[in-house]
Amino acid sequence: MEQTQLQQQQQFEEEFSVSIKPNLLEKSRAQRILWLLEELHVDYELKTYKRENMLAPHELKKIHPLGKSPILSVQSEEMKEPLVLAESSMIVEYIVDHLGPELAPKKWQEGKENSIGGETEEWLRYRYFMNYAEGTIMTLLLVQFIMSNIKNGPVPFFLKFITNGITSKVDAAYLAPNFKTNLDFLESKISSSPGGGSFIAGHNLSGADIMLSFPLRAAREGSILTPEKQPNLCKYLEMVEERDAYKRAIQKIIDIEGSYDAALSR
């Protein structure tokens, strides 16, 4: 980040006395919110929660009715109550809008401001992949996680062939072809980034890269994403993982939980 950008953000925080509190559940994909805040050099007060029987504790429901993670509380001196934000993409967009506009590409083509179809390719990609990360690729990973739990779950041996048969059919008919379609699609998109850029929406890191990071890492750790089949996508993931802010976020998770593992099937 350029010094002028850092100074502008520090000035914003000082003027409005913004308090930012991420509420994160252990062993979740909420690490992306820490990465975002670290990338922007924003001060925050981290609160973590332990799972209870693999589920979020009731304590989280006191902050948001759904009790899901991540939840971000934002408050300024002018606010009587904190603003509570849920859903990763919503949190990323809100923080980018207010504290990190450099993480969103330029929206309009020159001379086409506020017109339908006047958006830049970079911005359209940014908005698309912000939603794609959770709406499409993460959905496939969650279905795979459920199938893995069914297949490896504790059932009587005489029922094992039934659970194995069901999960094998789901994998062959649904998961395998959809993973191939989506990873081939992502490989083509990262290979054709606007202007020959290294990120998903051009030359600069954006909120879309932050949103894509977890499902791609989970796919790699589950041996779904491989260098042999998706070489450029793997290089892209390795590149974002080398960012200092990303490493700081991961280290904070390790300091709290003892390790960091994005593989859902484990």
Report pTM.
0.88
pLDDT of res. 263: 55
> Pairing between strand 19-25 and 83-86?
unpaired
pLDDT of res. 265: 40
Interatomic CA distance for residues 65 and 122, integer angstroms: 35
pLDDT of res. 264: 55
Residues of the chain with pLDDT under 70: 1-16, 262-266
pLDDT of res. 28: 80
pLDDT of res. 11: 52
Shortest CA distance to 199 belongs to which of 240, 155, 256, 154?
A: 240
pLDDT of res. 157: 81
pLDDT of res. 39: 97
Count of CB atoms situated within 10 Å of the CB of 72? 28
pLDDT of res. 15: 47
pLDDT of res. 160: 87
